[in-house]
Structures are given as C-alpha cells and as structure tokens.
Amino acid sequence: MNVLVIEDNESVCSMIEMFFSKEQINGEYVHDGIQGFNRYKEGQWDLLIIDWMLPGMDGVAICRKIREEGDSIPIIMLTAKDSESDQVLGLEMGADDYVTKPFSPLALMARIKAITRRLKGSSQEKAEKGLLETQFFKISKEKREVYLNGEAVTNLTPKEFELLYYFAQHPKQVFTREQLLDRVWGYQFYGDERTVDVHIKRLRKKIGTDNQPFFHTVWGVGYKFDETFQASED
C-alpha cells in the first residue's frame, strides 16, 4: 500500500513512519502543500493523509483540487481544528475522514486498515452492479450515481454516498454511531462519534427537506433511514 503523507510537522511524520514500518506500509512524506499536491499528481497512491494547516497550500485546498479533478482516492485529514464547522468544511471539500490532533497512532492505523480492506474488495465490488431502488431514490454503486425523484444528485462526497447507500439498504433500521463507523467507515469505534453526526447533517442538508429529512435521529440510540414524511431533526 502506497501512502502519501502531506504534513509539515516532522515529529508527526516520524511517528507515522514508525507505525507504517510495523504495518509494512510504504509512506512518502512531503512538508509543503504545493509540493505535496505536485507529488500526488506524479505518483500512484492508494491513500492520502493531509494536514489541514500547511505552508504553500492548505490541506482543504488540496482536497478540493483533487476532487475537482474527479479523483475519488481516499483522503484522511489531520487537523488541530476541533469545531464542528471546521470538520464540516473538510468533509464538504471531499475528505473521507479526519483525525483530530493530538491523535492516537492506533486510531489512525485503524482508519488506514479499514481503507485497505475496502481496496482489497474493490475488484469484487466493481463486478457487482449494486443497483438499489427505493421509494424516492435510485442508486448505482458501480457508477456511483444517485437519483432523487429522477433528478441526479451530484454533490455527494464519497463517504456521503457510501453512508446513503448503506442506509438505503436497511430502511427504518436503527443503527448506533459505533455500528455505522464499523460498517461504513470499516473500523472499530475510537471515540470520534462526530464523524457520523457531521455526515448525517450534511446529507440532510443536501438531499432532505424540512418535511422529508430521510435521516432521522432515534434519541439515545442513533439514526435510521425512513422515507416517510416527518419533521426535520438536528
């Protein structure tokens, strides 16, 4: 597995490199945003780990440019920014996940291992059409296409698509945040439930309405996908 790490803190890079060596992951480390983006374009990568605050070009700008080019490569953002608005911005720009500094290397490795499992299963997934139709949605897993009431939905990030697809496969079934982290993100819970909350909020805003949010909070438990008309929930 080839991973490009764009991070200006050399001590963080050294820590990541130590764990990469134990897991036999090939890592390359760049400490400047512009140089990192150029290196991304030159190489063949399975995963990008990008720091938010970088000299030259910040991580959000790098992420946005990559998604604008149509590349769905998995991206994990490293950030010292802990507010929900900052997390929303990073995810909106196309990051699949974020890790808040200071972070546990084990938590980061769990996310990387989850992506590794997805990559190993990608050839099988590509062979499956994965066409799913509900009352309001038509979703093609193979083409990564979503239609709502016959209209194309084109502004979903890769992780938002996966979360919608999983929920649509299990209508009205209630899932805890831990279950969603495990089944959609692919790793065991490491204390960052807000990843789920932020994605749900973004999906409600992008495809829901006040009377039809699709994603409903089950207080004290988690979330469910329900296409019946109900009041919007935060």
Q: How confident is the model at residue 232 (pLDDT cuts 50, 70, 90)?
A: very low
| CATH number of residue 11's parent domain | 3.40.50.2300
Is 233 part of a structural domain of the chain? no
How do residues 30-74 score in pLDDT, each as one tens digit?
999 999 999 999 988 889 999 999 999 999 999 989 988 878 788
pLDDT at 125 > cutoff 60: no
Tell me: do 160 and 188 sit in the same domain.
yes
Does residue 214 contact residue 163 with C-beta atoms inside 8 Å? no
Tell me: do 195 and 149 sit in the same domain.
yes
Give every strand in the sheet of 2-6, ordered side by side.
26-30, 2-6, 47-51, 75-79, 97-100
Tell me: do 193 and 151 sit in the same domain.
yes
Which domain-ending residue is among 87, 120, 153?
120
Q: How far apart are CA 174 and CA 211, in angstroms?
A: 20
Q: For the chain, what is the domain count?
A: 2
How do residues 151-182 score in pLDDT, each as one tens digit?
999 999 989 999 999 999 999 999 999 899 88
End-to-end CA distance of the chain: 39
